[in-house]
C-alpha cells in the first residue's frame, strides 16, 4: 500500500455544520460520539449544536491542559464509549486543541482495536500540526507523547472561526509550527509568515496561510507516513524543544509547546551553522526575530545536563545517538544529523546568552 492512499481528508471550510453532517450521515444512528475538553466546550459545541441535536450525538468532556494528557483521561474516554454502546462501526468526533485530538485519536484507534475518528481542531497549533499526520498518543512517566500509535483521522475540518477566542500566547504557540514549516520547506512561506500582522488578524488571509502550512506538513506525511525518512524534517526544533518543554514542566515553570519549539529551533539553528553550513547572519537574524516575539525561557549552565538527558529519551534517536534535523539554508533540510554532546552544550550556551 502506498502512503498516499491512507492520508486524511483535510477540509477547509467556514461552514462547519454542513461538512460535519456529510460525515455523520455515513454512520448508524446512535453510533456517533463526541469528545471535547472542558475549556473548549462552552465556545465550540454551540458552533455544531444543530448537528449534535439532529443526530442525537452523545458527548463527554475531559479536563483541559497538558497535565491531563494521560492514561487516566484515555480511560475516561474508553469508559464513555463502552458505557454508551460504541463499536467498531462507530465514529468519534474530537473537537478541541492538540492535546484533545492526540488523546481522542489514540482512544479511538485502540477501542475495539480501532474505530473511525474525525478531528475538528480549535487552536492554531492543532490546525497546523497536531490534528494532521496520524500521530496519536499521551504523555507517560513525565515524557511527552511517550505512548501512541500512527492512525489517520478519517477527516480533519479546519475552520478559523474557532481561533477568534484563543489568546495571543496560544496563537503564537501555533504560529511557531508554521514558522518551522517555512524554515524546512519554503522560503516563500517563511516570508509570508514574517509579514503577516499578528496584532490585527485577518482571518480570511490566515485561512490561506494555514492552508499553505498544512500543505507542507501533508507533503511530508504522504511521503513518509511512519517517519522512516523525510517526515523527520518535521522534527526540526523538537529534539531540543521537547527537552525544554519537559524540563519546564518538571521545574514548575511550564511553557506552551510552540514556545518550546521556538527555543529548540534557535539552538538547532546554531547546530545547523556548525554541522550544515547555515550562515551566521541567518542564524542571528532569525534568532533575534524569534526572541522579540517569543521572549525566552531562562536556563543556567547547570541545567544543560538535565536537558541533555531529556534529549536522550527522544523517540527519533537510534541507539545512543541523538538524531537532529538541521537546515543548511531556509527551505532545505538534512535529517539524521549526529551531534556530539559538547556541541549540543555549545548550542544551549548560544541560546542562554541571547539578549
- Answer yes or no: are the C-beta atoms of 117 and 106 closer than 8 Å: no
What pairing do the DSSP bridges indicate for beta strands 334-338 and 323-326?
antiparallel
Residue extent(s) of CATH 3.40.50.1970 domains in the chain: 3-166
pLDDT tens digits for range 39-49: 888 888 999 99
Calculate the average pLDDT of the chain: 92
Residue 133 has a pLDDT of 81
Q: Looking at residue 305, what is its pLDDT?
A: 97
- CA 351 to CA 339: how far, in whole Å? 16
> Average pLDDT for residues 18-22, to the nearest whole number?
95
Beta carbons within 8 Å of 246's beta carbon, 6+ residues apart: 142, 143, 144, 310
The predicted pLDDT at position 121 comes to: 94
Which of 36-50, 85-99, 324-338 shows the lowest mean pLDDT across its residues? 36-50
With 70 as the cut, is the pLDDT of residue 4 above it?
A: no
The pLDDT of residue 244 is 97
β-pair partners for 117: 92
pLDDT at 1: 26
Task: Name the burial class of residue 291, with classes exposed (0-12), middle (13-18) and buried (19+) by CB atoms within 10 angstroms of its CB.
Answer: middle
* 92 vs 222, residue with greater confidence: 92
Identify the weakest region by mean pLDDT among 62-66, 107-111, 304-308: 62-66
Distance between CA atoms of residues 254 and 247, nearest Å: 8
What average pLDDT does this structure show over 38-61?
93
pLDDT band at residue 3 under the 50/70/90 scheme: very low
Which listed CATH number (3.40.50.1970, 3.40.50.1820, 3.10.310.30, 3.30.450.30) goes with 3-166?
Answer: 3.40.50.1970
What DSSP string describes 17-80?
HHHHHHHHTTS-TT-EEEEEEHHHHHHHGGGGHHHHHHTT-EEEEEPPSGGG-SHHHHHHHHHH
CATH 1.20.1090.10 in the chain: give the residue spans.
169-353
pTM, full prediction: 0.85
pLDDT given at position 216: 95
Judge whether residue 20 has pLDDT over 70: yes
Architecture of the domain defined by 169-353? Up-down Bundle (1.20)
Which pLDDT score is estimated for 319?
63
- C-alpha cell of residue 268: 538547532
Q: What is the pLDDT of residues 100-142, one digit of tens each?
A: 999 999 999 999 999 999 999 999 999 998 777 888 999 999 8
Residues 202-206: what's their mean pLDDT? 92
Going by C-alpha positions, the residue among 238, 97, 127 that lies closest to residue 180 is 238
Q: How many Å apart are CA 170 and CA 162, to the nearest integer?
A: 12
pLDDT in tens, 75-91: 999 999 999 999 999 99
Would you call 119 helix, strand, or coil by DSSP?
Answer: strand
For cell 467498531, the residue is 88
Total length of the chain: 355
Amino acid at each position: 500500500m502506498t502512503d498516499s492512499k491512507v492520508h486524511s481528508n483535510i477540509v477547509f471550510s467556514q461552514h462547519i455544520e454542513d461538512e460535519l453532517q456529510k460525515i455523520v450521515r455515513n454512520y448508524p444512528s446512535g453510533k456517533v460520539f463526541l469528545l471535547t475538553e472542558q475549556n473548549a466546550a462552552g465556545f465550540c459545541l454551540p458552533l455544531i449544536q444543530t448537528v449534535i441535536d439532529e443526530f442525537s450525538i452523545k458527548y463527554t468532556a475531559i479536563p483541559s491542559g497538558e497535565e491531563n494528557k494521560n492514561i487516566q483521561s484515555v480511560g475516561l474516554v474508553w469508559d464513555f464509549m463502552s458505557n454508551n454502546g460504541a463499536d467498531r462501526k462507530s465514529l468519534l468526533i474530537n473537537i478541541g486543541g492538540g492535546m484533545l485530538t492526540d488523546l481522542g485519536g489514540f482512544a479511538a484507534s485502540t477501542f475495539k482495536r480501532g474505530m473511525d475518528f474525525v478531528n475538528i481542531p480549535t487552536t492554531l497549533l492543532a490546525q497546523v500540526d497536531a490534528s494532521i499526520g496520524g500521530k496519536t498518543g499521551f504523555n507517560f512517566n513525565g515524557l511527552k507523547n511517550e505512548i501512541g500509535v500512527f492512525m489517520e483521522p478519517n477527516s480533519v475540518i479546519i475552520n478559523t472561526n474557532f481561533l477568534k477566542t484563543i489568546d495571543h500566547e496560544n496563537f503564537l504557540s501555533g504560529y511557531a509550527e508554521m514558522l518551522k514549516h517555512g524554515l524546512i520547506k519554503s522560503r516563500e512561506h517563511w516570508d509570508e509568515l514574517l509579514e503577516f500582522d499578528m496584532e490585527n488578524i485577518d482571518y480570511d488571509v490566515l485561512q490561506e496561510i494555514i492552508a499553505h502550512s498544512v500543505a507542507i506538513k501533508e507533503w511530508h506525511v504522504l511521503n513518509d507516513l511512519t517517519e522512516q525518512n523525510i517526515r523527520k524534517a518535521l522534527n526540526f526544533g523538537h529534539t531540543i524543544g521537547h527537552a525544554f518543554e519537559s524540563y519546564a514542566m518538571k521545574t514548575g515553570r511550564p511553557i506552551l509547546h510552540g514556545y518550546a519549539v521556538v527555543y529548540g529551533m534557535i539552538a538547532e539553528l546554531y547546530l545547523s551553522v556548525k554541522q550544515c553550513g547555515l550562515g551566521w547572519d541567518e542564524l542571528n537574524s532569525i534568532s533575534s526575530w524569534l526572541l522579540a516575539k517569543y521572549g525566552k525561557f531562562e536556563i543556567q549552565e547547570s541545567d544543560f545536563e538535565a536537558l541533555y538527558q531529556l534529549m536522550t529519551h527522544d523517540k527519533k534517536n537510534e541507539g545512543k545517538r541523538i538524531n537532529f534535523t538541521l537546515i543548511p539554508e531556509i527551505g532545505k533540510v538534512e535529517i539524521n544529523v549526529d551531534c556530539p554532546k559538547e556541541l549540543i552544550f555549545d548550542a544551549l550556551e548560544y541560546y542562554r546568552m541571547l539578549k
